[in-house]
Amino acid sequence: MSATAHDRRLVAVLGHGLVPAETPILRADDLGALRGDGIFETMHIRDGQPWLIEAHLDRMERSAGLLEINLPARGELLDLAKTILSEWNPATEGALRLVCTRGPEGGGVPTVYATVAPIAASVVDARRNGIRVATISLGFGADARSGAPWLLGGAKTLSYAVNMASQRWALAHGVDDVLWMSADGFALEGPTSTLVWLTGDRLWTVPVDRTGILSGTTAAWLLAHAGDLGWTSGYRMVTPAELITADGVWLTSSVRGPAEIRAIDGTERPPSAFTSAIVNLLGFPV
Amino acid sequence: MSATAHDRRLVAVLGHGLVPAETPILRADDLGALRGDGIFETMHIRDGQPWLIEAHLDRMERSAGLLEINLPARGELLDLAKTILSEWNPATEGALRLVCTRGPEGGGVPTVYATVAPIAASVVDARRNGIRVATISLGFGADARSGAPWLLGGAKTLSYAVNMASQRWALAHGVDDVLWMSADGFALEGPTSTLVWLTGDRLWTVPVDRTGILSGTTAAWLLAHAGDLGWTSGYRMVTPAELITADGVWLTSSVRGPAEIRAIDGTERPPSAFTSAIVNLLGFPV
């Protein structure tokens, strides 16, 4: 830990190291800005360390492959994370973002940078008290993105305008988040989270390859460790009606962790007896 | 015209004026870069002037409304365009881009800038010699975006990763561009262009409100002036099979202008007798 540990936003740029957070770092013609043409990952910083960084970098490499972006070698990205976290106060819960754009239009090298920032109070509140969601359709069938690589299913890109519009729509309609639906009635994922639910002693999430949803890093770790809670795990499609009667429903994401869904389209769900066990297993502060 | 007229990329930032093109202007946490959360317009620069700039600003204001972004007043955007074009060589055909991001995460004012750059040779070639396209599905039905404002139908956002991936897919599959299809078999638009076709003496394009496609500025001007070529005009849905036997099919866009479609999924179309009349009416150099 540095003598000057920070808990306000920090920025580090690959090849330049730490820069003041307000420094402009992207050119006007960077395709990350002009076209949302780039990829990113966000990680939970606990005790000054990025949780599951190797799994996040695995996914970032898959995203880079789908977008045909020249992501730097893993060692460079790990060094960048180390550089920025060396200045971060380990007592402060944080969110680390790694971003890689395609770089300037007309050719050039990718723009690669990291940010770390404290976690908003609303995020901690959602983890603690759960969330109310509404279901809204993405417009396509659950299988539509399978075999359509141009739709970038499974890639975590910078083109999140629809994700952000969906969350604005939620707040404007009196709920905390949305659950994206397929046109044929299946629950898919949240705009920035993965759907996980418990029925009896089995923990489920939505299959990735068939649906083109993002493979959730936190959800994958949770399902892999379901045995620690005496559960098995599996992948299947699900409807909102099934979720209402499940023994627990969560939207998991890297920074917010597990947020229990307490209402779907106005239908309340009783609090799950298992939320605190899941929060503890995932190692998030409560 | 300035004494130092340029025909290489220029950049101007609202509130700062012209800056060297390689100057970084966006912060690491600008939502335009982090989330593709912003809007843009691109215009054709002919004789040093932006063609149809008022119509483009009309659309930019509609996009800002759909994304709830505080776009500066029109006068400021017109001044920004004037500033950058004062340094542009009017003898060089160019493309002017106006960009407005939501600004830094956590609040702040939008980042607003303009770029102008010369037009690529491939663009002029497409206008002159036409293009070959393949049809690929967007995955949703033609009506899916109607009544689903979170899907941002009709908004020209910075989240173009799927648009760019679609065009990379085209080049990798031996065609020049793609024609996006609905899951129910209708041709919608190109990733950066509007579909226009002629049957007999009627010029058509795809209805905007029902489909959520982008309202094409060049296409709208062309249809409004169809009478100059002795045609009427209208809006309707169309299938690729109908396009194969039409009297002319074009993808129109602001900078490329009208690019005649000469082949769809490998089925050739004879050159249309009307392409040069359309290019001339739209005032593009040939």
Delineate the domains of chain B, giving CATH numbers in brackets.
Answer: 10-119 (3.30.470.10), 123-282 (3.20.10.10)
Residues of A in contact with B117 (CB under 8 A): 29
Closest to B155 in 3D by CA, of B89, B244, B60: B60
Q: Could you read off the pLDDT of A203-224 as tens digits, one per residue?
A: 999 999 999 999 999 999 999 9
Q: Which of A9, A150, A160 sits opposite B136 (nearest CB)?
A: A150
Token pair belonging to A120: 């908003």
User: Is pLDDT of B1 > 80?
Assistant: no
Q: Is A115 on the interface with B (CB under 8 A)?
A: yes
Closest to A67 in 3D by CA, of A153, A193, A188, A140: A153
Output the pLDDT for position B114.
98
Output the pLDDT for position B107.
85
Range A97-101 average pLDDT: 98
Output the pLDDT for position B135.
98
Q: Could you read off the pLDDT of B179-193 as tens digits, one per residue?
A: 999 999 999 999 999
So what's the ipTM on this one?
A: 0.96
Q: Where are the beta strands (DSSP E) in chain A?
A: 10-13, 17-19, 24-27, 38-46, 49-50, 94-101, 112-118, 131-137, 177-181, 187-189, 194-199, 202-205, 232-235, 248-253, 257-264, 267-268
Range B21-33 average pLDDT: 97
Q: Which residues of A255-271 are buried (b: 16+ CB within 10 A; e: fewer)?
A: bbbbbbbbbbeeeebee
Range B41-65 average pLDDT: 98
Q: Where are the beta strands (DSSP E) in B47-93?
A: 49-50
Range A69-98 average pLDDT: 97
Output the pLDDT for position A108.
84
Q: What percent of chain A is modeled with pLDDT above 90?
A: 95
In chain B, which residue's Cα lies nearest the Cα of A18? B28
Range B214-243 average pLDDT: 98
Q: Is B108 on the interface with A (CB under 8 A)?
A: no
User: Is pLDDT of A279 > 90?
Assistant: yes
Give the C-alpha separation, A61 to B83, whole Å. 41
Which DSSP symbol is given to A264?
A: E
User: Is pLDDT of A4 > 70?
Assistant: no
Q: What is the pTM of this model?
A: 0.97
Cβ contact A140–B145 (<8 Å): no
User: Is pLDDT of B2 > 70?
Assistant: no
Cβ contact B166–A150 (<8 Å): yes
Residues of A in contact with B160 (CB under 8 A): 34-37, 159
In chain B, which residue's Cα lies nearest the Cα of A118? B106
User: Is pLDDT of B3 > 60?
Assistant: no
**Count of A-B CB contacts under 8 Å:** 195
| Strand A257-264 versus strand A131-137 pairing type | parallel
In chain B, which residue's Cα lies nearest the Cα of A168? B150
Q: What percent of chain B is modeled with pLDDT above 70?
A: 99
Q: Is A168 on the interface with B (CB under 8 A)?
A: yes
Average pLDDT over chain B, rounded to an integer: 96
Mutate to test the interface with A, among B98, B150, B173 (most CBs of A within 10 A): B150
pLDDT range class, residue A1, cuts 50, 70, 90: very low
Output the pLDDT for position A134.
98
In chain A, which residue's Cα lies nearest the Cα of B113? A28
Closest to A253 in 3D by CA, of A57, A54, A81, A44: A44
User: Is pLDDT of B140 > 50?
Assistant: yes
Output the pLDDT for position B46.
97
Phi, psi of B139 (to 5 degrees): 95, -20
| Strand A267-268 versus strand A187-189 pairing type | unpaired
Q: Which of A115, A148, A159 sits opposite B139 (nearest CB)?
A: A148
Range A102-120 average pLDDT: 95
User: Is pLDDT of A251 > 60?
Assistant: yes
Q: Could you read off the pLDDT of A122-167 as tens digits, one per residue?
A: 999 999 999 999 999 999 999 999 999 999 999 999 999 999 999 9
Phi, psi of B178 (to 5 degrees): -120, 160
Range B16-45 average pLDDT: 97
Q: How many CA atoms lie within 13 A of B229 on its CB side?
A: 24
pLDDT range class, residue A106, cuts 50, 70, 90: confident
At residue A222, the 3 state secondary structure works out as helix
User: Is pLDDT of A111 > 70?
Assistant: yes
pLDDT range class, residue B6, cuts 50, 70, 90: confident
B197 to chain A, minimum CA–CA distance in Å? 25
User: Is pLDDT of A249 > 50?
Assistant: yes
Least confident among A232-241, B46-55, B105-114, B210-219: B105-114
Mutate to test the interface with B, among A23, A31, A150 (most CBs of B within 10 A): A150
Output the pLDDT for position B133.
98
User: Is pLDDT of A2 > 60?
Assistant: no
Output the pLDDT for position A5.
82
Q: Could you read off the pLDDT of B236-268 as tens digits, one per residue?
A: 999 999 999 999 999 999 999 999 999 999 999
Residues of A in contact with B140 (CB under 8 A): 138-140, 144, 183
Range B107-117 average pLDDT: 95
Q: Is B69 on the interface with A (CB under 8 A)?
A: no
